[in-house]
Structure 1
Amino acid sequence: MADMELLDSARHADLRVSTAPDRTRHFVQLVADEFPAASLTYPILFTRHPDTGGLYPGALMGLLPDENLCLGPDRELAGYRAADLERQGFYVSGENIAIDPDHPALRQPEGERVFDGDGAPTPMLQRVQAALRRLHKGLPETERFVATLLHHKLVEPIDLSFRFDNGESLQLDALYTISLDALHALPDDVALALFRSGDLQLIYAQTNSVRHIPSLARRRNDRLSGLAA
């Protein structure tokens, strides 16, 4: 990664941000308060961080690395765009925003401008600022939510095996979901506490979102059929 640069309206007057990197993102980290919006379009599942081993949630957008099956005809995401995508290439540095000038989102010829002609933030930069705030606030809350799920033994592996019309088989490992059986077996006082904390709403958003998995499989099957034709 290149050295970070503090975002500056003069130095970065011509900076643009492209959504092109979205096209190769198959799993995007979410914070808990994104579940209701993200669950309308994507399966929300949990996986383990490769460095820490900690469990974290994300939106599944493809079945293989570098594959995004949730793009519209314009090659843009057809549904909710997660905060982690909005802030690609942008980071919090104390009270300021820093950028990685070598990030793919900032090195494309197309894209939305960061500053207008007067050096004021554009709507794109305002979205980045909102995404950074959402992540800053939401990551600790999401860690608490995941810890609650683990404490009550509500997380279980999910079996994702697919077979496509061209004969290809695919199995996804190391993904997890919330067990409704375990949830419904909880004592009433625990279920009430989950309801009052708002965690129950997040749980049902996640468990309802897995209905999108067959849609992802159909899109991959259609893509493979198109390539074969």
Structure 2
Amino acid sequence: MAKNELLSNVTHKDLKIIQGHTSRGGDNVGYAAIIPWEFRQAAACYPIFFRRTKSDNQFEVVALFGFAPDENLYVSDQRREDIYIPLSVARIPFAIGYTQDTETGQREPVVHVDMDHPRVSFTEGNPVFLEHGGNSPYLDNINSILAELINGVNVCKRFTDILQAEDLLEPFVLKITLDNGQQIEMGGFYTINEKVLRDLNAEQLARLHSQNFLELIYMSIASLANIKKLINKKNALLKNKI
């Protein structure tokens, strides 16, 4: 369970964040959300799927890292491979929270930090604040990432809303058999319905293209070629354990 606290240059003046991506550092997750302007980099590395969120039953877009909720085949305890790291992973252990302005009633974004995260330290890592209380370059970068995520989530919602409206999402069950005979079945994901896509008329295609969504659709379809790479990683991992 995360222990989120509102980030403060007083309470957290000595806070440091350990860098690197390892299983012990909290990177043992099977997928992570991505936003539209990450598609190009993410599609070069990971299979991209859609899934319903538990909180509000909306769709989000995710990059798949492994075949179990706690399996990341792109990370080991020794090193992180030279691949694209989604912003939703890079921002950890920080998160976006909201406060409500008492005068205007508007919600204002604030930065929270998970004090129970294994990357949080007071002895090693990148300092979050400068000696006299200002933001460190590291925190400035985190703030930029969080701002991108706020904007990206809004665009992503428009994207998935139009996919639903055009009936372009279909449930997907991934069934594979590994070299050792182990069978894996994963459900709960959605992909682009390519038959429906092919049957869209000119007006529908123009509407998708005008919002730069058509490109995202084709990149998500192309990314599914990475499923084979993921299977190869899993087979290699199991072989090395023998």
TM-score (norm 1): 0.88
Match of 1:92 among 97, 103, 117: 97
Deviations 1:56-106 (A, max 9, x none): 111101111211111378422531111211222323343542323223332
1:192 aligns with 2:197: no
Richer in strand (by share) = 2
Identity across the alignment (%): 29
Decide whether the 8 Å contact of 2:129 with 2:136 is kept in 1: yes
Pairs aligned (count): 228
Q: Which amino acid aligns with 2:238?
A: L
Gaps of 5+ in 2: 99-107
Match of 1:204 among 206, 214, 218: 218
Richer in helix (by share) = 1
Decide whether the 8 Å contact of 1:22 with 1:85 is kept in 2: no
Tell me what 1:59 maps to.
Answer: 63
More moved, 120-129 vs 32-41: 120-129
1:36 aligns with 2:40: yes
Decide whether the 8 Å contact of 1:86 with 1:127 is kept in 2: no
Q: Which amino acid aligns with 1:213?
A: I
1:107 CA displacement: 5.0
Q: Note closer, same or farther for the CA distance 1:97–1:53 as it changes in structure 2 (3 Å cut).
A: closer
Q: Note closer, same or farther for the CA distance 1:2–1:149 as it changes in structure 2 (3 Å cut).
A: closer
Q: Note closer, same or farther for the CA distance 1:123–1:155 as it changes in structure 2 (3 Å cut).
A: same
Pairwise CA RMSD: 2.3
1:71 aligns with 2:75: yes
Q: Note closer, same or farther for the CA distance 1:136–1:48 as it changes in structure 2 (3 Å cut).
A: same
1:25 aligns with 2:39: no
Decide whether the 8 Å contact of 1:72 with 1:78 is kept in 2: no
Deviations 1:116-151 (A, max 9, x none): 445443343223111210111111211111010011
Tell me what 2:16 maps to.
Answer: 16
Q: Note closer, same or farther for the CA distance 1:80–1:118 as it changes in structure 2 (3 Å cut).
A: farther
Q: Which amino acid aligns with 2:32?
A: V
Deviations 1:141-187 (A, max 9, x none): 11111010011111112231111122211011111111222112100
SS of equivalent residue, structure 2 residue 188: coil
Tell me what 1:158 maps to.
Answer: 172
Q: Note closer, same or farther for the CA distance 1:123–1:205 as it changes in structure 2 (3 Å cut).
A: farther
Supply the distance in 1 between the matched residues of 2:183 and 2:124 (Cα, whole angstroms): 37
1:178 aligns with 2:170: no
Decide whether the 8 Å contact of 1:23 with 1:75 is kept in 2: no
Gaps of 5+ in 1: none
Match of 1:144 among 137, 154, 158: 158
TM-score (norm 2): 0.84
Decide whether the 8 Å contact of 1:23 with 1:76 is kept in 2: no
Tell me what 1:121 maps to.
Answer: 135
More moved, 92-101 vs 155-164: 92-101
Supply the distance in 1 between the matched residues of 2:217 and 2:139 (Cα, whole angstroms): 32
Supply the distance in 1 between the matched residues of 2:123 and 2:192 (Cα, whole angstroms): 42
Q: Which amino acid aligns with 1:36?
A: R
Decide whether the 8 Å contact of 1:162 with 1:171 is kept in 2: yes
